[in-house]
């Protein structure tokens, strides 16, 4: 009997090292599906990137003899509709963390025939457990030690060919209306090209990743956020340094926190009585519109609005200024970043905001923050501030 599987793409928009694609290809026929679900958090900049990524994925699947069905609406309902239209017995989907992903996987599970494959992490959330008990690591350094020693999953083979049944029609997708003017091109091909451009010359990452004007970080984050690149393959790339791999481990760390604490984006992870904030709408507006009058903070916010991306050090400075200097609620900062970042990632955004606010996984939640000192240290010549000055 012919077995058909719906392959539901989510944050794994690629054909290389894609465990869900490899698993779906064990069936006789595969229905590749992406559902544009309004319930999934995103923003106009990330949407522009997503539309590129879907075009690129469709082209790759067509090259394998398949295609991509794109539907709009509630994901679980669309999966059921596509299953009914194609007679698919199975659904294959990558794991993920967060309220939306957990709710979706639960609904797919209750409909039956679901196979969940490894998701966006290098090491799946829940695989590493602290020796002292608990369902996840709360502190990064012991997590990094365990993560570095565990064996990572095997690379998933890329199929030579895709056999598809008669596919149902796709829906027309609403166009993106990005707010940023200088966005990177989305998609697997663009991501692999960026990796090939950056990795051979990345030997100074450890020394220079905090150099704001030098801009020496990989800028792979948008590709990792939507799975145009496999985090496992990027982390295993022989051209990248241990300092870089450690940053990739931070990504896994926040994902396993989110898996254990799905409310991370709006609820203090550790409420030691310090989740208490000022209400100053004028100051918040000035921060959002890059008009605080603090050069280094305004420069970061201008980069965010122009590129939909901000250097990590500038994210720390702008976030630290909002929560530690102005004393404003980290949730407002989290939401503003979530509305603009082309690399928006629920776990990384919420985890880093909470870390900065002292409500998250920082072992020194009350650490001080001085934006002048940060500017002097990480932008000593003022070149980053000049680049992103008002004029």
Ligand X SMILES: Cc1cc2nc3c(=O)[nH]c(=O)nc-3n(C[C@H](O)[C@H](O)[C@H](O)COP(=O)(O)OP(=O)(O)OC[C@H]3O[C@@H](n4cnc5c(N)ncnc54)[C@H](O)[C@@H]3O)c2cc1C
Task: Kindly list the residues in this chain that would bind ligand X in the complex (CB under 6 A).
Answer: 209, 217-221, 224-225, 247-248, 250-251, 254, 312, 315-316, 319, 337, 341, 343-345, 348-349, 352-353, 356
Residue among 264 and 286 whose Cβ is closer to ligand X: 264
CB-count exposure of residue 312 (10 Å: 0-12, 13-18, 19+): middle
Please state the closest distance from residue 187 (CB atom) to ligand X, in A: 16
Cβ atoms 40, 303 nearer than 8 A = no
Residue among 88 and 195 whose Cβ is closer to ligand X: 195
State the Cα–Cα distance between residues 296 and 254, nearest whole angstrom. 27
Residue among 61 and 310 whose Cβ is closer to ligand X: 310
Strands 90-94 and 4-9: parallel
Residue among 19 and 320 whose Cβ is closer to ligand X: 320
Measured over the CA atoms of residue 361, residue 363, residue 364 and residue 370, the dihedral's sign is negative
135: its two tokens = 């369902």
| Cα distances (Å, whole numbers) of residue 362 to 29, 140, 325, 356 | 47, 8, 18, 8
The DSSP H or E segment spanning 102 is helix 99-111
Please state the closest distance from residue 215 (CB atom) to ligand X, in A: 9
Residue among 162 and 322 whose Cβ is closer to ligand X: 322
Please state the closest distance from residue 351 (CB atom) to ligand X, in A: 7
Please state the closest distance from residue 293 (CB atom) to ligand X, in A: 21
Residue among 117 and 348 whose Cβ is closer to ligand X: 348
Describe the strand order of the beta sheet including 4-9 as a list of residue ranges: 69-72, 29-36, 4-9, 90-94, 114-117
Cβ atoms 137, 252 nearer than 8 A = no
- Coil, helix or strand for 202? coil
Residue among 107 and 153 whose Cβ is closer to ligand X: 153
Please state the closest distance from residue 7 (CB atom) to ligand X, in A: 24
Please state the closest distance from residue 272 (CB atom) to ligand X, in A: 20
Tokens 């199975």 belong to: 90
Q: How far is CA 306 from the centre of its chain?
A: 19
Residue among 153 and 219 whose Cβ is closer to ligand X: 219
- HSE (side-chain half, CA atoms, 13 Å) at 156: 25
Around Cβ 180, how many Cβ atoms within 10 Å?
Answer: 22
Please state the closest distance from residue 344 (CB atom) to ligand X, in A: 5
State the Cα–Cα distance between residues 250 and 346, nearest whole angstrom. 13
Please state the closest distance from residue 208 (CB atom) to ligand X, in A: 10
Q: In sequence order, what are the beta bridge partners of 34?
A: 9, 70
């Amino acid at each position: 009997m012919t077995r058909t599987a719906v392959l539901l793409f989510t944050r794994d928009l690629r054909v290389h090292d894609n465990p869900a694609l490899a698993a779906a290809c064990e069936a006789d026929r595969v229905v590749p599906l992406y559902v544009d679900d309004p319930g999934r958090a995103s923003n106009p900049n990330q949407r522009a990137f997503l539309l590129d990524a879907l075009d690129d994925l469709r082209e790759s699947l067509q090259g394998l003899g398949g295609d991509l069905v794109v539907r709009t609406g509630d994901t679980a309902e669309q999966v059921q509709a596509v299953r009914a239209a194609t007679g698919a017995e199975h659904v294959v989907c990558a794991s993920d963390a967060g309220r939306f992903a957990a709710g979706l996987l639960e609904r797919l599970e209750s409909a039956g025939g679901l196979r969940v494959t490894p998701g966006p992490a290098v090491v799946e959330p829940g695989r590493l457990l602290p020796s002292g008990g608990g369902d996840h690591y709360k502190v990064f350094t012991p997590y990094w030690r365990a993560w570095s020693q565990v064996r990572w999953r095997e690379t998933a083979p890329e199929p030579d060919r895709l056999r598809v049944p008669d596919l149902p029609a796709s829906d027309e997708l609403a166009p993106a209306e990005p707010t940023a003017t200088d966005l990177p091109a989305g998609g697997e091909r663009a991501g692999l090209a960026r990796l090939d451009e950056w990795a051979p010359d990345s030997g100074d990452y450890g020394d220079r990743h905090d150099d704001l004007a030098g801009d020496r970080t990989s800028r792979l984050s948008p590709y990792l956020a939507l799975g145009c690149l496999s985090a496992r393959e990027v982390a295993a790339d022989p051209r990248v340094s241990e300092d870089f791999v450690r940053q990739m481990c931070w990504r896994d760390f926040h994902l396993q926190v989110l898996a254990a604490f799905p409310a991370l984006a709006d609820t203090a992870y550790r409420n030691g009585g310090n989740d208490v904030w000022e209400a100053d709408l004028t100051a918040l507006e000035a921060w959002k519109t890059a008009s605080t009058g603090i050069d280094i903070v305004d420069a970061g916010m201008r980069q965010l609005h122009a590129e939909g991306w901000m250097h990590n050090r500038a994210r720390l400075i702008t976030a630290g200024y909002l929560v530690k200097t102005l004393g404003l609620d980290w949730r407002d900062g989290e939401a503003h970043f979530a509305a603009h970042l082309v690399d928006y990632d629920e776990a990384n955004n919420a985890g880093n905001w909470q870390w900065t606010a002292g409500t998250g996984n920082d072992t020194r939640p009350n650490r001080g923050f001085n934006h002048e000192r940060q500017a002097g240290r990480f932008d000593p010549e003022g070149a980053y501030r000049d680049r992103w000055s008002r004029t």
